């Protein structure tokens, strides 16, 4: 896998602010290079900018995007697109096929996802066939995709946690 980018659809102002921030933090922590979202809500961009300043890395956040244009551009550049939805093919039945992809856009929703998305993408993938959360779906997907390697990654600059069985130890990187 060369590049992973996350596209967050939906986002009801106030109601989804925390969820979108958590989608972005999860994407950052678990190996994506950046997140795109359709709302122009500046609080999400600010939270992620703060996280990057404190914890390092190169992660980017781009709000106010047009989802149709972003999917088209990604596909035109040779990338593949995977939409996470409980209506898709269950993850264990399709993950090996997706693992071979070089550049992958992962789409998660909030409210109802437009029907067109289901047709535009290369894969509609379910993380089990029960409704749960975009954050949980994204985390499980990214982990299975990268076979846990994303947990060993280190981030350039910023604070570094020295793992401890008890207590906390944080150093400047
Ligand atoms: N009806 C939705 C669906 O299509 O999965 C559930 C809506 S849920 C509030 C918001 C987002 O969480 C969905 O758009 C999807 O990206 C993700 N999600 C929730 N449950 C999922 C599941 N079992 N498998 C994959 N994605 C899921």
CA distance 82 to 1: 14
CA of 84 to the centre of ligand 1 (A): 6
pLDDT tens track, the chain, 173 positions = 689 999 999 866 667 788 999 999 999 999 999 999 988 888 888 998 999 999 999 999 999 999 999 999 999 999 999 999 999 999 999 999 999 999 999 999 998 899 999 999 999 999 999 999 999 999 999 999 999 999 999 999 999 999 999 999 999 87
Ordered strands of the 60-62 beta sheet = 60-62, 34-37, 3-8, 103-108, 80-90, 123-126
Enter the tokens of residue 99: 């693992």
**Domain boundaries in the chain?**
3-172
What are the pocket residues of ligand 1 if the criterion is a CB atom closer than 6 Å to any ligand atom? 84-87, 108-110, 113, 126-128, 130-134, 137
Task: Please name the residue that has the structure tokens 């029907």.
Answer: 115
Pocket perturbation via mutation, ligand 1, pick of 90, 118, 130, 132 by most ligand atoms within 8 A of CB: 132
Q: What is the DSSP letter of 92?
A: G
Task: Please name the residue that has the structure tokens 């069985």.
Answer: 165
**Angle at alpha carbon of residue 76, lines to 60 and 2, rounded to 5°:** 50
pTM, two decimals, is 0.95
CA distance 65 to 69: 8
Q: Determine the pLDDT at residue 14.
A: 65
3-172 maps to CATH 3.40.1280.10: yes
Q: Determine the pLDDT at residue 43.
A: 87
> Dihedral of the CA atoms 17, 136, 158, 58 (nearest 10)?
-80
Q: For 19-27, which contacts have Cβ atoms below 8 Å and span 24 or more sequence positions?
A: 19/110, 19/133, 19/134, 19/135, 20/44, 20/110, 21/47, 21/48, 22/135, 23/108, 23/134, 23/135, 23/138, 24/48, 24/61, 25/51, 26/135, 26/138, 26/139, 26/142, 27/59, 27/138, 27/142
CA of 166 to the centre of ligand 1 (A): 36
Q: Which residues of 113-136 are buried (b: 16+ CB within 10 A; e: fewer)?
A: beeebeebbbbbbbbeeeeeebbe
């Amino acid at each position: 896998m060369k590049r992973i980018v996350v596209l967050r659809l939906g986002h009801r102002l106030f109601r989804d602010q925390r969820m979108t921030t958590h989608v972005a933090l999860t994407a950052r922590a678990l190996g994506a290079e950046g997140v795109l979202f359709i709302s122009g809500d500046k609080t999400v961009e600010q939270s992620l900018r703060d996280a990057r300043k404190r914890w390092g890395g190169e992660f980017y956040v781009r709000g106010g995007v047009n989802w149709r244009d972003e999917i088209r551009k990604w596909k035109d550049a040779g990338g593949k697109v995977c939409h996470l939805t409980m209506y898709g093919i269950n993850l264990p039945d399709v993950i090996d096929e997706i693992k071979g992809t070089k550049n992958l856009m992962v789409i998660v929703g909030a409210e109802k996802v437009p029907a067109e998305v289901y047709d535009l993408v290369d894969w509609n993938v379910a993380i089990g066939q029960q409704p749960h959360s975009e954050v949980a779906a994204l985390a499980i997907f990214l982990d299975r995709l990268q076979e846990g390697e994303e947990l060993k990654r280190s981030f350039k600059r910023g604070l570094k946690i020295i793992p401890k069985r008890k207590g906390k130890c944080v150093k400047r990187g």
